[in-house]
Chains A and B, each alone.
Chain A
Amino acid sequence: MRLNLTVNGEPRQADDVWEGESLLFLLRERLGLPGSKNACEQGECGSCTVYLDGTPVCSCLVAAGQAEGRAVRTVEGLAEEGDLDRVQRAFLEAGAVQCGFCTPGLIVAAHDLLARVPDPSDGEIREALAGNLCRCTGYEAILDAVRTAARR
C-alpha cells in the first residue's frame, strides 16, 4: 500500500508497504529515520517511543497504516539540525548515555513529561519513565538529566 504522513514536519510518502509492517519499521527501514530503536518490538521497553499527533506511543505497536494522514515526531525531530533540545543536552551532560540504545525513547518520554509537568518530583519522573527500560545506567544519571532539563 501507499502511505502519506507527516514526519518531523515534512510530508513523506512510502510505497509498497506491507500491511503487517509497524510504524517503527516504516520509520527505520523505509523513511531513513533509524533513531527510534528496535529493542523489543513488544511494547515493553519504550525504546521506539515517538509522538503520534502529539501523543507518545510505542511505534512498534502501531501499524504503519494507522499513521496515514497523521503527524509523527521522532527523536530526530526534537531539535533543529546541529542543535540539541534541552532534554538531549541534559542527557549528554549528566552522563545518562552509555550504550545509548534506550536513549531516543527515554528522551521522547522525558520531553513529553516536561511538556505536561514543568517541575516534576522524583516520583513523577520515575512513574513517567517506568515504561522505558535501560540496562546500562541504573537510571541514576537519567533522573539527574531530567531534573536538570526541568530547571532550564
Chain B
Amino acid sequence: MTSPTGTVPTRTAEATTGRASGGVGDSPQRPDGALKVRGEFAYSSDAWHEDMLWGTTLRSPYAHARIVSIDITEALRVPGVYAVLTHADVPGANLHGLERQDQPVLAVDVVRYHGEPVALVAADHPETARRAMRRIEVGYEVLPPVSDAEQAVHGDVPALHPGGNVVRHVRVVRGDQDATADVVVRGEYQVGMQDQAFLGPESGLAMPAEDGGVDLFVATQWLHVDQQQVCIALGLPPDKVRITLAGVGGAFGGREDLSIQVHACLLALHTGKPVKMVYNREESFYGHVHRHPATLYYEHGATHEGKLVYVRSRIYLDGGAYTSSTPAVVGNAATLGVGPYDVDNVTIDCWGAYTTNPPCGAMRGFGAVQAAFAYESQMDKLAEALGLDPVEVRLRNAMSEGSVMPTGQVVDSPAPVAELLRLVRDRSLPTNGHGESVDLRAMPGGVSNTTHAENVVRGVGYALGVKNICFSEGFDDYSTARLRLQVVGGEPAVEVHTAAVEVGQGLVTIEQQIVRTELGVERVTLRPADTTIDSAGGTSASRQTYMTGGAVLAACRAVRDRVFALARAKLGPEPTGLSLVGGKIVAATGGVLADLVDVLGGNVIDETVQWRHRPTTELDPETGQGFAHVQYGFAAHRAVVDVDVELGLVKVVELACAQDVGRAMNPKALLGQIHGGSTQGLGLAVMEEIQVSDGLIRNPSFTDYLIPTILDTPPMPVDVLELADPHAPYGLRGAGEPPAISSGPAVVAAIRAATGMALTRMPVRPEHITGTDH
C-alpha cells in the first residue's frame, strides 16, 4: 500500500483478523485531535484563573559573574507587584537537577551561564511584572567565561564546580588497541548547538492549597522527577506537591529539566495566589537545555577490501554550566560511537565538560546524533580512500542480529541495517526537473530569486544511525498503569490512568489501541496524567510506547484474568483459551460464551500494574563493557540536494528514510514520527544553530534561529520494516529518535557529493560550501 508520502506498513491477514477496530496496528484518530483542531485543547499556557498573578524571571546578562549585591527595593514599590523573590526566599535546598542537584533555583553568589535565573516577580499584569523586574538592581563582578569544552577537560582553566570540569568520562575499549590497517582515514568534526524549538513555550499555573501545599499544572516530560525536584528545592513532602500535566506543545527533550516548576510554586506559596508563568520565545531559548555541541576526533582503519579493522575516537561534549542529563548523553555517544557497524577493535573516549555556556542536556537523538555525524562522515571518507561506493562500504560493514557492540553486548534482536540501506538506495531518484519553466520555490534560495538553475549541482548522500531505546546502564526503568473496567450506560468501558506524558507523539492513541485489542472494549477513556499514580518514567529515550504501552498491556492482562474468573464463577468452569473480543467472552473454538456486560454486572475491576523492561547493567568503569542497552533502533536515510555552488545555498529535494520499528502500532502516527525526526535532522544539517560567543546566546529568536519551514522540507518517502523484537511488547521498537540521527549526516553527505567540499561541521553554512569561511 503506497501513499503519496511513502509506504504504509502492510499487515498480514493473521494480524488483522479478530482485532477490534481502532486496535493495535490501526490508525485511529487521536483522542485529543478534535479539541486541537478547534483550538479548544488546554495547553499549559492557556491555564487561567480569575484571581491569578503573572510571574516573571530575572536572568543573568552574563555568562560568568560573581553576584555582589541584589537590591529589590525599587521593584517592590511598583504598583501591582505582589512579590519579588531571591535565593534568600527559597525555603528548601535551592537546588535542582535531573541526575545531580547542582543547579540553583535562584542564583546565590555566582552565575554560570547567560540567562541563569536570579530573581522572580509576581504582579497583576505581565507588563507590570516585567517593569518591576527591570528595577531589580543586581551588582555583578564579571568573570572570564570558560567557553571551550576540550580546554575545560584538559586545559588550565578554573574549576566551575567542586569536582572539576569533567561531568563524566566514559572509556570504551574492545579488542586489540594496537591494531593496524591497510587504509586509514582521520577527521575532526564539529556539531553546533541545536535547539528543540518546541512551539509551546514553557508555561504553567501554580495554585496554593489550604494544606500548605501547592497544585501545579505544567507542560513537562516526566511528572515525578519534576515533583521530586520541587520537593527538594522547596523543602516540601511529596503529598504537598501535586502536579497535573497541562497540554504540551512539543518537547523533544527540552522539557526534561525544570523551567517554571519551582519558580511558579514558590511565587504561589509566597503570595497565596495562583501564579501563571509563560516564557516568550526569547526567554525559552534561555529557559531550557540544548543539544550538546561536540568536537569529535576519529580514526578509522580498514582493509583494502573495505572491512573495518579498528575505530579510535575522542569525543568532547559541551555540557554547559550544570549537569542536566550530560552523564547519560556521554554514555550514549561513547557506546554508540562506531555506529551500526561490525568493528572488532575499538577505543572510544568521551567526555562531557562543564563550561559557562548554556546548559545542554536532552534533545531527540541524545548523544547518538553527534557521534553519527562523525562516524558517517568517516565512512564516506573511507569509501573515497578505497575507491568504493559509499553504500558499498557501509554494506560490507553493516552489523546484524548477533553482532557484538563495542561494549561487548551481543545484539539479540533483529538489526536489519543492510536491508534498510538497500531500501533507500533502491528507491527511484527524483527527476532533475529544472526544465524551461523554473519554479523558484524548488530552487536553492527559493523565491529570493537567486538562481534559475544556473550553478546548481545535484548531490546524493547516504547515512545510517543507531539509537538505544529506553533508559540504559542499569537504571531501574518502569512505568505504571491503572485500568478500571465497568459497565457504563449499558456498555463496557475502560478508564486508563497513567502518569505518562503525551507531548504530541500519540501515546494517548496507542494506550486506547492496546486496551481495545486486549480487552475487546471500544470505549476507552484516559484520565489526565498526574502524580496521584506512581511514575511512568519520562517521555524520552523513545520509551513510552514500549514502557507505558507495556504497562497498559500488563494491566489489561490482569483485568482480563479477573474477568475470566468472574465468568467461571457465573458460567461454571470453562476450558482455557478464553479471549475478549467485541465486548464478548469467546472460547478458543470461536464460540461466544457470554456478553462482557452480563459477566461484569455491577462489578468494577480495578487493576494497577508496575511494569519493567529486562534489566541492563552499568558499564565497567575501566573498559566500558556491559549489557548497557535494552534495545537498539536503526534507520537509514538517502538525501538528494540541489546546491547553488556559487552562493552556497542548499535545497533538499528529497529525504528518503527506511526504519525498522518491530511493530507499527499506529502506522499514521509512526509516519509522523519519521517525518518529524527526519526534518529536525535536516534542520541541524543546514540551518539550525544557537550562536554562542563568549558564553552569550546571540540569536534567541525565530528570526535568527531558523527551523525548517514547509518550503525547506522536501517530500519524504518512507519504508517501514516490522521485524519483531522478542523481548518487547508486541515486538515493537521505540521509533521516535532513530529518524533524527541519520537524516542530518545524509544531507551533509549529499552536499559533499554535489560540491566536493570536505564539510566537517554541521550545520553547513553557505561559506563552507563556497570556501569563503577563512
Contact = CB atoms under 8 A, between A and B. Distances in A.
A137 B249 contact: no
B439 A98 contact: no
B335 interface: no
A44 B680 CA distance: 18
Contacts of A130: 709-711
B385 interface: no
Contact of A92 (B34, B45, B709, B715): B34
Interface residues of B, number: 66
B675 A141 contact: yes
A28 B46 contact: yes
Contact of A35 (B30, B39, B707, B711): B39
A90 to B, nearest CB: 9
Contact of B669 (A34, A95, A102): A95
A93 B29 contact: yes
A95 B27 contact: yes
A127 interface: yes
A33 B251 CA distance: 24
Interface in B664-701: 668-669, 671-672, 675-680, 701
A47 B716 contact: no
A104 B252 CA distance: 21
Given A91-B37, A144-B4, A37 B716 contact: no
A72 interface: no
B668 A144 contact: no
Contacts of A138: 672, 675-679, 708, 713, 716
Nearest to B52: A29
B248 A139 contact: no
Interface in B710-769: 710-711, 713, 715-716
Nearest to A85: B37
B574 interface: no
A79 B37 CA distance: 11
B199 A45 contact: yes
Contact of A36 (B39, B505, B668): B39
B513 to A, nearest CB: 14
A38 interface: yes
Interface centre among A35, A36, A76, A107 (most CB of B within 10 A): A35
B702 interface: yes
Contacts of B252: 135
A71 interface: no
B707 A41 contact: no
A75 interface: yes
A121 to B, nearest CB: 9
A100 B36 contact: yes
Given A35-B39, A123-B441, A136 B710 contact: no
B675 A101 contact: no
Contacts of A33: 39
Interface centre among B34, B250, B506, B680 (most CB of A within 10 A): B250
Given A35-B39, A140-B716, A95 B671 contact: yes
Contact of A44 (B4, B503, B701): B701
Given A38-B45, A123-B442, A107 B715 contact: no
Contact of B37 (A20, A99, A103): A103
B99 interface: no
Interface in B273-308: 278, 280-281
B250 A101 contact: yes
Given A20-B127, A42-B702, A92-B34, A34 B504 contact: no
Contacts of A144: 3-5
A69 B711 CA distance: 36
A21 B125 CA distance: 10
A44 B249 contact: no
B475 interface: no
Contacts of B38: 35, 75-76, 79, 84, 88
Interface in A104-129: 104, 107, 123, 125-127, 129
Contact of B504 (A76, A100, A126, A139): A100
B507 to A, nearest CB: 11
Given A76-B38, A126-B710, A141 B671 contact: yes
A102 B199 contact: yes
Given A42-B703, A100-B249, A130-B710, A135 B676 contact: yes
Interface residues of A, number: 58
A107 B40 CA distance: 13
B675 A137 contact: yes
A35 B40 contact: yes
Contacts of A18: 125, 127
Interface in B190-235: 196-201
A3 interface: no
B702 A44 contact: yes
A74 B249 contact: no
Contacts of A21: 127
A118 to B, nearest CB: 20
B37 A88 contact: yes
Given A40-B702, A42-B281, A138-B716, A101 B200 contact: yes
B341 to A, nearest CB: 27
Contacts of A36: 39
Contacts of A135: 196-199, 250, 252, 676, 680, 707
Contacts of B39: 33-36, 74-76, 103-104
A143 interface: yes
B636 to A, nearest CB: 17
Nearest to A32: B48
A63 interface: no
Interface centre among A35, A97, A103 (most CB of B within 10 A): A97
A142 B198 CA distance: 17
A63 to B, nearest CB: 13
A84 B38 CA distance: 7
A84 B37 contact: yes
A137 B708 CA distance: 11
A133 interface: yes
Contacts of A88: 37-38
Given A99-B199, A140-B5, A127 B711 contact: yes
A59 interface: no
B672 A92 contact: no
Given A40-B281, A143-B710, A133 B702 contact: yes
B220 to A, nearest CB: 13
A100 B450 CA distance: 34
A94 B455 CA distance: 38
Nearest to A131: B709
Interface of A: 18, 20-21, 28-29, 33-42, 44-45, 47, 74-76, 79, 84, 88-89, 91-93, 95, 97-104, 107, 123, 125-127, 129-144
6 contacts: A37-B45, A98-B672, A98-B676, A99-B199, A140-B716, A141-B668
In the A-B complex, list the 3 residue pairs whose CB atoms are closest, starting with the nearest. A35-B39, A99-B504, A138-B675
Given A38-B45, A42-B281, A133-B709, 5 more contacts: A18-B127, A37-B45, A39-B201, A123-B439, A141-B672
